[in-house]
């Protein structure tokens, strides 16, 4: 009886995920996850229930909830690259940087997929692996269209290694691409301060302060 009820909830979840109701994909997957969670509550080892639950949470962008079922699904299928990638991205989005690095490092699509390479580089920067991050992220500079976010990460990777002039080059490029970003100007100030360039550091800190003051109340 329990197995039959778990199967019914699983099927309801699949129908919800595949449905064409006038709702966003995120909303559909969030509702599907509720059915999958009911199935997992009845029988956590029911075939495909942890996989379905993890994928639904992932697609609903509820990454904190996705990691547990995805870890259990990966334990049952450790060679599945799609599962490893999904878990790695969930860990990235919940700022579990080192675990994300370990999962994304061997991803077979990473070299050919700029978004995946960027995600791996981000995890490396956040886990303070600056040299490897610089090596991973630098090839993305040849991609069409400059990215302030990429330049910031490269600046942080260089600063982590003590390559302060290179960090300044990247951060100044980021500031040109995103002149209203107070965080970039603050990072520039810190690097200039480290190098003893007090006047330039003051200029960047003041620019950061003014940009923050211009933000609407409650803004990011």
pLDDT, one tens digit per residue, over 32-50 is 999 999 999 999 999 999 9
Query: In the predicted model, is pLDDT for residue 74 greater than 60?
Result: yes
pLDDT of residue 218: 46
pLDDT mean over 155-170: 97
Reported as type and span, the H/E element at residue 77 is: none
Q: What was the pLDDT predicted at 64? A: 97
The top-level CATH class assigned to 128-214 is mainly alpha
Domain ranges of the chain: 1-94, 128-214
Chosen CATH of 1-94 out of 1.10.150.170, 3.90.420.10, 1.25.40.10, 1.10.10.10: 1.25.40.10
Indicate if the pLDDT at residue 146 is higher than 70: yes
**Banded pLDDT at 17 (limits 50, 70, 90):** confident
The contacts found for 144-149 with CB under 8 angstroms, 24 or more apart, are: 146/173, 146/177, 147/177, 148/173, 148/174, 148/175, 148/177, 148/178, 148/181, 148/184, 149/174
CA distance linking residue 93 with residue 165, whole number of Å: 30
The pLDDT tens digits for 76-98 are 999 999 999 999 999 999 999 99
pLDDT value of position 3:
85
């Amino acid at each position: 009886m329990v197995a039959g009820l778990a199967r019914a909830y699983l099927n309801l979840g699949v129908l919800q995920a595949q449905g064409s109701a006038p709702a966003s994909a995120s909303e559909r997957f969030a509702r599907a996850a509720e059915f999958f969670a009911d199935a997992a509550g009845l029988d956590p080892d029911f075939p495909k229930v942890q996989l379905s639950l993890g994928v639904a949470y992932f697609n609903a962008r509820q990454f904190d909830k996705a990691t547990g079922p995805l870890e259990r699904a990966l334990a049952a299928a450790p060679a599945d690259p799609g599962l490893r990638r999904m878990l790695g991205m969930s860990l990235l989005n919940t700022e579990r940087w080192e675990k994300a690095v370990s999962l994304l490092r061997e991803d077979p699509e990473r070299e050919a997929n700029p978004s995946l390479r960027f995600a791996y580089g981000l995890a490396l920067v956040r886990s303070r692996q600056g040299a490897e991050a610089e090596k991973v992220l630098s090839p993305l500079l040849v991609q069409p269209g400059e990215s302030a976010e990429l330049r910031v990460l490269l600046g942080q990777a260089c600063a982590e290694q003590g390559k302060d002039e290179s960090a300044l080059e990247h951060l100044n490029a980021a500031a040109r691409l995103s002149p209203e970003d107070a965080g970039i100007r603050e990072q520039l100030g810190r690097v200039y301060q480290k190098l003893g360039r007090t006047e330039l550091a003051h200029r960047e800190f003041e620019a950061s302060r003014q940009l923050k003051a211009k933000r609407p109340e409650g803004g990011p």
